[in-house]
Structure 1
Amino acid sequence: MQNFYIKSVVWDLTFNLESDITLEIVYGGAAFRICYNARTLAASPYALEQHHELYRILYKDDPDGGFWQAVERLRKPFEELMTQMAPNPPIELTRYLHSYLYPPWFILEAGVAESGRVQPYFKAALSRQEFGRPGEYITNNFLQPYLSPLLNSKLNKYSSRQVQVLAQTPQLVPSRVLVDGTVYFFKPWISGQVHGYHELQSYRKILADTEASPPLLADARICRLYGLIIDNDDDVLQHYPLDNGEEGHSGTRLVGLLLTYIENRGTLKDLAPWSDDCTNEDRLRWSGQIHYSVEYLHNAGVIWGDAKPQNVLIDMEGDAWLIDFGGSYTPGWVDEDKQETVEGDRQGVQRIDAWLTKWSRQPVTRIKRSGEGEGRRQGGSVEGGKEEGL
């Protein structure tokens, strides 16, 4: 039985009992915007009183104070209508990526029935002008300097219509995907995020080194970029009508990245503290592999950036992979004035060693570089060590 996933709940942050309340919900291959308007509900004293009660709970914003119960009470009257309107319940995991990125959007509104209770209504379908398009236009002046070298490289480019979704996160974001017979991890592209541009720059350097002879990074266990997902608006937004015959802006957008997919046991943060999950030999090996991969990154002119245990993934064979090349830093692992530098990476690695030592019966000091002399492994990495790239 598919769940209704609540994407967002919006209300006035300045206390106002007459505030509208808006829910955005994903269900059955469609997205719904549910609008509660206090002026409309004023036609029924009972409905308005319920609205005021639910607003007070939302305003407190306390998960332990009935917040999610209030959200459920707001959603419940629309359940039957959403079930009727959803084009494809339940979601089949064999669908293609474009149907996840561009679901039909429906606007629903709370009216008042003769009984005085809330009556759900269908108001409209979202038009192309209103639809929030994922990704970022490739002509964007901020994106261009980072994306152009990749567009001009041998890197594969795909449409979301070519990408088959095999699995998704609990938030209904596609994660494991299939393209041309190969399984990858799908990472959505978020417009305007500085760390995304930094990440593209890192992947460009890694790609350039990988294509060099001999590549410096051949044996490093690091995240790699294998493809770009680029969509044309006119192709993927065909089911979104234009308002009043007006011409809509269309173009080509970067909507996601394809990273190598790898089965994993969790992050270093998840595993290292627990004796049941690892041994001291494991911790020593992981430290050595981290040192080895970071050194090879630096030799190729790439900065790891946000060095910390959460950004080390442990695969099913017990090997450590570096993930997340978006830059920035995490206090306690890398100092702010050393972020995105070689010095900052080394500081982060030293602090990871110290952290591993705390969980070991022997110091993590002189580390054998266990990656040396080993053959190149197939597989890859994830972003964030959990859902992204899992």
Structure 2
Amino acid sequence: MIVAPRYEIEHHITGTREDDHNARFTVRRNGKAFYIKVSPSHFVNSPTMTDKYLSYLEVLRSGEEVLGDIYDTDVYEWVMAPFEPLFAELAPSPSSHPKDIRISLQDHLFPDFFVFDLDIVDEKLCPRRVATDRSPHRPSFVRFDDELLDDLETWTTFYDPAGITLSFKNPEDALFMPPKKVLIDNRKAECFFKPCNSGTQIKQELKAYKMILAAGLDSQLHLCHLYGVVMDDSNFILGLLLTYIDDGDRPLSTRIHPDDPNDPPPAIRERWIGQLDATFAELHKAGIVWGDVKAENVLIDRDNNAWITDFGGGCTEGWIDKEIAGTVQGDWVGMAKLRKFTPPTKRNTNLKLL
């Protein structure tokens, strides 16, 4: 039995125009990146496979796990199957013992890479390597002007990604998975790495963290502390280093059982709401607006504390209307919905009277 090599599909991109039928995939294996483009313009004498691809493309565009009788996993397996021998050949397993693997954030964000097109000729899928010295992906295109950089230097720290180490329970996962926990300061401090996806968003977030630090709220409440800003040698902003919340990959949105009012029990629910109320009050007293209030942005740690995260602005449909987004009023509207989302268990009113 042939075992497929391990690899991870980091993400895929499809065109938004109706006449754009291209798809792009980013795959990670053993610390190397594979960038794969699929385009019907590279299909020759292959009507059956073209029809299959176009039906698969609709699944990718939908963002659903299944559309009709096609699962997204069917699509991934179909695209990746002809590349699996190349994954094994071009990204072999490291010779070192898995426990000795050390991958820096620099290694992860700027990996060795391979670029491929997927041609289909006479109904056969044919990977074709594209020769290039330039990666089709950059982790960030955001730079700050000198004035903002000078201000940042007065209250936070700049970090080189080469000095930051990825941290996983299984060290081998660093060769395949995007990082959440990283180690800084000679691997002595744990942080959460938040990538920079928007210049506007990261400026808004930095402004909020500066105010949180000035008010001392990050030491008083369950609010993340900003350890620093990660920059590359071309002064592109790669992301933020924030407090690592243990078990923080379980947001409030996943912690409330929809059909069991005692999961979690009422005391825990009331504790979360009390912590959120107290944090809201102190943030507003300091002139800080949370903004994107929603259950996904409340993280619950292993000690059942509720942390408010994501000060990048914006709003999410169903939580706050755009007209009041980014205001104190919007925050309290969102907080009212968080209370409804986290109702305490109803007290038993059928007690016997003595």
TM-score bracket, normalised by the shorter chain, equals 0.7 to 0.9
1:264 maps to: 247
Q: Which runs of 5+ in 2 are unaligned?
A: 349-354
- Distance in 2 of aligned mates of 1:178 and 1:39: 45
- Distance in 1 of aligned mates of 2:334 and 2:49: 50
- Distance in 1 of aligned mates of 2:40 and 2:296: 45
**How many positions carry a matched residue from both structures?**
325
1:188 maps to: 195
Task: Tell me the TM-score normalized by structure 2.
Answer: 0.78
1:81 maps to: 86
**Residue 166 (structure 1) shift:** 0.9
Q: Is the 8 A contact 1:54 1:70 kept in 2?
A: no
- Aligned letter for 1:229? V
1:2 maps to: 6
1:241 maps to: none
- Distance in 1 of aligned mates of 2:266 and 2:49: 57
| CA deviation profile, 1:74-113 (whole Å, cap 9, x unmatched) | 3211211222112656996631111110112212245689
2:287 maps to: 301
2:226 maps to: 225
| CA deviation profile, 1:283-302 (whole Å, cap 9, x unmatched) | 22221111111111112221
Matched, 1:163 2:149: no
**Residue 147 (structure 1) shift:** 5.1
Which one is further off, 170-179 or 221-230?
170-179
Q: Is the 8 A contact 1:333 1:348 kept in 2?
A: yes
- Aligned letter for 1:165? L
1:55 maps to: 53
Which one is further off, 344-353 or 74-83?
344-353
- 3-state secondary structure, aligned to 1:264: coil
Matched, 1:122 2:120: no
Q: Say what the alpha-carbon RMSD is for the aligned residues.
A: 3.4
From 358, 361, 379, give the equivalent of 2:346: 361
Q: Is the 8 A contact 2:273 2:339 kept in 1?
A: yes
| CA deviation profile, 1:208-236 (whole Å, cap 9, x unmatched) | 223xxxxx55311112211111111xxxx
| CA deviation profile, 1:53-81 (whole Å, cap 9, x unmatched) | 33332343363343542442232112112
Q: Is the 8 A contact 1:307 1:345 kept in 2?
A: yes
- Distance in 1 of aligned mates of 2:16 and 2:279: 48
- Distance in 2 of aligned mates of 1:285 and 1:119: 57
- Aligned letter for 1:159? D
Q: Which runs of 5+ in 1 are unaligned?
A: 211-215, 233-250, 364-390
2:214 maps to: 208
- Distance in 2 of aligned mates of 1:71 and 1:289: 42
- Distance in 2 of aligned mates of 1:96 and 1:22: 26
Which one is further off, 317-326 or 275-284?
275-284
- Distance in 2 of aligned mates of 1:304 and 1:112: 50
**Residue 21 (structure 1) shift:** 5.7
Whose relative contact order is higher, 1 or 2, with alpha carbons under 8 Å and at least 6 apart? 1
From 111, 133, 141, give the equivalent of 1:103: 111
73 and 276 in structure 1: CA distance in 2 versus 1, 3 angstrom threshold? same
- Aligned letter for 1:263? D
2:351 maps to: none
From 310, 328, 337, give the equivalent of 1:324: 310
Q: Is the 8 A contact 2:31 2:174 kept in 1?
A: no
**Residue 32 (structure 1) shift:** 1.9
